[in-house]
A and B are shown apart, each in its own frame.
Chain A
Amino acid sequence: KAGVTQTPRYLIKTRGQQVTLSCSPISGHRSVSWYQQTPGQGLQFLFEYFSETQRNKGNFPGRFSGRQFSNSRSEMNVSTLELGDSALYLCASSGPGLGYNEQFFGPGTRLTVL
């Protein structure tokens, strides 16, 4: 079974631009969570989607948004990029009924904001 895939793997943007990251969960997984990882703040929860609905949201500004499609693929968008948005963005998927007990992470997208 293929794992969680994320595209692109690396991205360089400049301040003020916007970016869209994509995540394809493991086949059959309907829950997708997004995280931001930085050396200073560690791994921080952004949001979780289940069956196209946002189920939980972390403490990030409204510039960070996401959505989930009917095939469970998810996208995350960051508008008006700031230098502090440079981070590794990780997506994770969970199987039905298993919650975080079976959460698998993708390889991440490394975003650099110049």
Chain B
Amino acid sequence: QKEVEQNSGPLSVPEGAIASLNCTYSDRGSQSFFWYRQYSGKSPELIMFIYSNGDKEDGRFTAQLNKASQYVSLLIRDSQPSDSATYLCAAEGGKLQFGAGTQVVVTP
């Protein structure tokens, strides 16, 4: 079992809708959580990080963390075709462990 689990998708989202991505982790010692976006053929780029339980908003992105349930999520509001990418969830418990990623496809 991978330490960080994500649905591989693809998650198809109509343009303008909300994309909801989920991630679970197994290491209760993980303290920090990260969401990366990776376009096809490109390197991952950090879009958000969260430490504390609750929500954290940055523009159209909202990260949610529930440590009791070992659950992290990312919401993308007003999805645009440019949001079509693979989204990687990562948990830090000393070292950074990545999930396999969820492919998001935003359809016009």
Known contacts: A102-B46, A103-B46, A105-B43. The answer to whether A58 contacts B32 by CB under 8 A is no
Instruction: Judge whether B46 and A99 touch: CB under 8 Å.
Output: no
Residue B97 at the chain A interface, CB threshold 8 Å? yes
Which of A32-63 touch B at CB < 8 Å? Answer: 33, 35, 42-45, 48, 56-58
Q: Which residues of A contact B87 (CB under 8 A)?
A: none
A contact face: mostly helix, strand, loop, or mixed: strand
Residue A70 at the chain B interface, CB threshold 8 Å? no
Q: Give the CA-CA distance A103 to B47 in the complex, in Å.
A: 10
Known contacts: A42-B100, A43-B88. The answer to whether A56 contacts B95 by CB under 8 A is yes
Number of interface residues of B (CB under 8 A): 19
Q: Give the CA-CA distance A90 to B44 in the complex, in Å.
A: 9
Q: Which residues of A contact B92 (CB under 8 A)?
A: 99-100
B contact face: mostly helix, strand, loop, or mixed: strand
Q: Which residues of B contact A35 (CB under 8 A)?
A: 98
Q: Give the CA-CA distance A56 to B96 in the complex, in Å.
A: 9
Per-residue A-contact encoding for B22-52, CB less than 8 Å = 1, 0 else: 0000000000101000000011111001000
Known contacts: A100-B34, A100-B49. The answer to whether A33 contacts B96 by CB under 8 A is yes
Number of interface residues of A (CB under 8 A): 21
Instruction: Judge whether A45 and B44 touch: CB under 8 Å.
Output: no
Instruction: Judge whether B43 and A45 touch: CB under 8 Å.
Output: no
Known contacts: A100-B32, A105-B44. The answer to whether A56 contacts B98 by CB under 8 A is no
Q: Can you offer 18 A-B residue contacts whose CB atoms are under 8 A?
A: A33-B96, A42-B100, A42-B101, A43-B101, A44-B98, A45-B96, A58-B95, A100-B90, A100-B96, A101-B46, A102-B46, A103-B96, A105-B43, A105-B44, A105-B45, A106-B43, A107-B43, A108-B43
Q: Which residues of B contact A (CB under 8 A)?
A: 32, 34, 42-46, 49, 88, 90, 92, 94-101
